[in-house]
Amino acid sequence: MERRRSRRLYEHATRLIPGGVNSPVRAFRAVGGNPLFIERGRGSKIYDVDGNAYIDYVLSWGPLILGHAHPQVVSALKKAAEKGTSYGAPTALEVELARLVLKAYPSMDKVRFVNSGTEATMSAIRVARGFTGRDRIIKFEGCYHGHADGLLVKAGSGAATFGVPDSPGVPKSYARNTITLPFNDIEALKRTVTSEWKSLACVIVEPVVGNIGCVLPRPRFLETLRRLTAEYGIVLIFDEVMTGFRVAFGGAQAVYGIKPDMTCLGKIIGGGLPVGAYGGRKEIMSVVSPEGPVYQAGTLSGNPLAMTAGITTLRILSKSGIYEKLEQRAARLEKGLVDAARGAQVKTRFYRAGTMFCCYFTDTEVYDYRTAKTADTERFARFFNAMLDRGVYLAPSQFEAGFLSLAHSEKDIEKTIASAYDSLRAIQ
């Protein structure tokens, strides 16, 4: 496979952009080689500047649940663009997307749109602090909530990939207000909440951790979290930026039957355009400016193009049978990959929540950050490159989730499974 143009572009990019990329994990540092520069995407596939095609399991890191360049999304965007791209004044589109989101997430009475998941979590925490009058927060090791200062503590995603859980540039005084606990550790949670509750504004959690692969909550973990936070007046924030409309239409909160006080969304609700959202119970959201005193704003927030892509995407997803179809395909992929690993005699652990999944190169059960880190990242890197050579594009890190879209056909999935078997054999 020829990748000369990608290599040339990357060399040029590194002279102009830090590391040649605008988000760290894109740089392929964890798997070697240089990143592919993408020219276009269509359905389940992306095409690089050298003309190679790949079945894509990154899907822009989650948003593209309909696949690339879905015809209805593209046509709605064209029409919207002709009416102007931003006004800085309210539109009916914002009201419609808010209505669709609130209907799907009954735990939220009100929602505010922002421009990224980072903005959503950052703002939700400010609101939780304003609402409770307390400063400290609890997060869990390996959970990534965007790159705001207080949240870049023992975070997943790029931070896990590069092994720098704490970033230089984050003042110690910020990090001091963040308590981190192991995910799925009920005893540590109980101990901390019962002793520290007076200073705790909120607990923020990825209900399924997608930023160290795919880590599922153990039975009773989320229930205990809900019970304890309610008992001590601590705001429970579900960061569903990745899991929202992904693990189910109603997110992880629908799957596990938990009602958080606040929810953060992003990725899918923007249909591939930059969007985030945070919302929650009426009493909490009423502190948000201009209704209340907690300030939060955005020049391009509620942008008509992003709202249009989001509305179109959610309308398609809300049709009956869509998630059943997604589940069927994902289950087939899971079975095929697990069988391929067994056939090739490679020890792996496969985890999946709806259409997000991770195949860890480890023999150990993965249930938190520490156990995820038992994965053999060198073996993953060889697997990644073997798959790439066979036309399958995975996230370039062991600690990222893979995603499936409605555009992935049965043929795509069978080809992926066959490629996985060949790749696993090749790297043995």
Ligand X SMILES: *Cc1c(COP(=O)(O)O)cnc(C)c1O
The verdict on 266 binding ligand X (CB under 6 A) reads yes
* Interaction pattern, residues 217-246, with ligand X; x per rule: CB under 6 A: ----------------------x-xx----
- To ligand X, the closest distance from the beta carbon of 86 in angstroms equals 19
Binding positions for ligand X, 274-293, rule CB under 6 A? 276
Site for ligand X in 80-99 (CB under 6 A): none
Instruction: In angstroms, give the least distance from the CB of 361 to ligand X.
Output: 22
**How many Å apart are CA 245 and CA 101, to the nearest integer?**
10
Position 150 contacts ligand X (CB under 6 A): no
Instruction: Return the bridge partners of 209, or none.
Output: 215
CB of 275 vs ligand X, minimal distance in Å: 8
Of the pair 73, 124, the CB lying nearest ligand X is at 124
If one asks whether residue 145 binds ligand X (CB under 6 A), the answer comes out as yes
DSSP string, 279-302: EE-HHHHTTBTTTSSB----TTTT
Q: Residue 206, interface with ligand X (CB under 6 A)?
A: yes
CB of 123 to ligand X, least distance (A): 12
First to last CA, the chain: 22
Q: Of 97-105, 111-119, 255-263, 364-372, which part binds ligand X (CB under 6 A)?
A: 111-119
- Find the binder of ligand X among 211, 362, 419, 423 (CB under 6 A): 211
What is the rounded distance in angstroms from the CA atom of residue 244 to the CA atom of residue 254?
Answer: 10
52 binds ligand X (CB under 6 A): no
Instruction: For residue 214, state whether it binds ligand X (rule: CB under 6 A).
Output: no
Single out the residue of 20, 117, 213, 271 in contact with ligand X (rule: CB under 6 A).
Answer: 117
Residue owning tokens 């102009």: 16
Among 10, 28, 144, 360, binds ligand X (CB under 6 A): 144
Distance from C-alpha of 56 to C-alpha of 41, rounded to nearest angstrom: 9
Q: Using the structure block, give the residue that is written with the tokens 């007046």.
A: 233
Asked if 141 is part of the footprint of ligand X (rule: CB under 6 A), the reply reads: no
203 binds ligand X (CB under 6 A): no
Backbone angles phi, psi at 261, to 5 degrees: -80, -35
Segments of 220-271 assigned E as strands:
235-239, 262-266
29 binds ligand X (CB under 6 A): no
- Quote the DSSP letter at residue 216: P
Does 263 bind ligand X (CB under 6 A)? Our answer is no
Element housing 55 (H / E): strand 53-56
Residue 407's φ and ψ, nearest 5 degrees, are -85, -15
- One DSSP character per residue, 219-233 reads TTHHHHHHHHHHHTT
Q: Which residue type occupies 3?
A: R
By CB under 6 A, residue 260 contacts ligand X: no
- Which residue, 237 or 420, is less far from ligand X as judged by CB? 237
Residue 147 or 329: the one with the smaller Cβ distance to ligand X is: 147
Active-site residue numbers? 144, 239, 267
Comparing CB distances to ligand X, the nearer of 264 and 346 is 264
By the 8 A CB rule, do 251 and 389 touch? no
Task: Please enumerate in sequence order all residues whose Cβ is within 8 A of that of 172, keeping only pairs 6 or more positions apart, or say none.
Answer: none
3-class SS at 268?
helix
Q: How far is the CB of 225 from ligand X (least distance, A)?
A: 16
Residue number closest to ligand X, CB atom:
117
Q: Which is nearer to ligand X, 118 or 301 (CB)?
A: 118
Instruction: Check binding of 139 to ligand X (CB under 6 A).
Output: no
Spatial CB neighbours of 19, under 8 Å, sequence gap ≥ 6 = 27, 29
- Smallest CA-to-CA distance from 131 within 282, 287, 259, 261 is with 287
Q: Does 118 bind ligand X (CB under 6 A)?
A: yes
Distances from the Cα of 232 to the Cαs of 127, 133, 331, 411, in angstroms?
17, 14, 40, 52
> Which segment (141-149, 212-220, 284-292, 312-320) binds ligand X by CB under 6 A?
141-149
Q: Is 210 in the site for ligand X (CB under 6 A)?
A: yes
11: Cβ–Cβ under 8 A, 6 or more apart, which residues? 20
Minimal distance, residue 411 CB to ligand X, in Å = 29
User: In the complex with ligand X, which residue's Cβ is closer, 10 or 238?
Assistant: 238
What does the DSSP 8-state code read for residue 154? S
Tell me: cis bond preceding 290? Omega within 30 of 0 counts: yes
Residue 356: CB minimum distance to ligand X, A = 10
Q: Which residues bind ligand X (CB under 6 A)?
A: 116-118, 121, 144-146, 206, 210-211, 239, 241-242, 266, 276
